[in-house]
Amino acid sequence: MAKAVEEYQVPRDFEGFGEEGLDPKWPNNARIAISFVLNYEEGGERNVLDGDAHSEPYLWEKGASGGHKGEGHRYLNAEHDYEYGSRVASWRLIRLFKEFGWNFTTYAVAVALKRNPDFAKALVRDGHEVACHGLRWLDIFDYSLEEEKEYIKENIQILKDVTGEMPVGAYYGRGTPNTPLLFPQVWRELGAELLWSSECYNDDVPYWLDLPYEKELPESERQGMLLIPYNYDCNDGKFHMSPGFGSSVAETYEQYLKNTFDCLYREGGKMMNIPLHTRIIGKPGRSEALRKFMLYVKEKPGVWVTTRRDIAKHMRKEYPYKPNGAWLKGKA
């Protein structure tokens, strides 16, 4: 089990922005920012051919009943469901977002995207963002600090090679207790800048986090880390989780997205996450439900559909980092 290193631990915060909240001041006075996030993992999941003990039992069409065929044995059913995500569904989603002229952020597992280079090129061609989602789609909870640093570095380098762009954001979801605060340090060691991390789930707006290992630096030298919160409740992975949307009930998913949008839109000054997985939302019945939600949103004024990269750039402009909460401009 990984050792939680004190200087890399995120403090807990039960107050947040309080009753008044934070106004992100979205561009053009938009009431809401929508971030579609495509988790691209196909080809990076567990597989005997890649030296793993068994095929991937998690988040595919058989859901909780999926399982695997024992140690050392391939399970073609699982392999082919993942392959559907890369072979077919990836292109269905490219077409869908091209229809609306919208961009999404891709949480890309490096090995997965490397195995589908044409898709990697299409993402960049169409203006979609590619962010780090791990070297492979595996738990690394037992990694040491140095092992994890190298793992992150290799993740970054492969994505840079396959897309031609340096990733500026990260979300693992399967890291160690040290992962979130390791990210900005690794980017700096590579001579690059991490614009955002989404390794948090505790708000509806982005916010700055002070880095514990910067506390001894002069305030002018501290950089902090911008967090863009993620979520699980709108995640299409819940088609294969219990309790969830139900594997064949796309209308339940569509209605939940509409309910979430309506609430955040009414409140104003919020961000909505819509987490997607190629092999899940890219099935015809579910992609059609997503399209219906997109048509619903398209008719609303004051909606900013964008990438996390552009959300980060906006927040850095409107709320540049200052330590100890001073970035809040008057709320410190």
The CATH homologous superfamily to which domain 25-326 belongs is: Glycoside hydrolase/deacetylase (3.20.20.370)
Whether residue 174 has pLDDT greater than 60: yes
What torsion, rounded to 10 degrees, do the Cα atoms 101, 205, 207, 133 define?
-50
Whether residue 330 has pLDDT greater than 70: no
The pLDDT, as a whole number, for residue 331 is 45
Whether residue 204 has pLDDT greater than 60: yes
Alpha helices by DSSP H, the chain: 76-84, 90-100, 110-114, 117-125, 145-163, 179-189, 250-267, 278-281, 284-298, 308-318
Determine contact, residues 222/262, Cβ cutoff 8 Å. Answer: no
Q: Name which of 248, 235, 328, 299 is nearest 24 in CA terms.
A: 328
Residues 73-97, mean pLDDT to the nearest whole number: 95
**Three-state secondary structure call for residue 74:** coil
pTM: 0.95
Whether residue 296 has pLDDT greater than 50: yes
Q: CA 10 to CA 101: how far, in whole Å? A: 37
The pLDDT, as a whole number, for residue 65 is 67
Whether residue 1 has pLDDT greater than 90: no
- DSSP, residue by residue, 167-198: --EE--SS--TTHHHHHHHHHHHTT----EE-
Tally DSSP H helices, then E strands, for the chain.
Answer: 10, 9
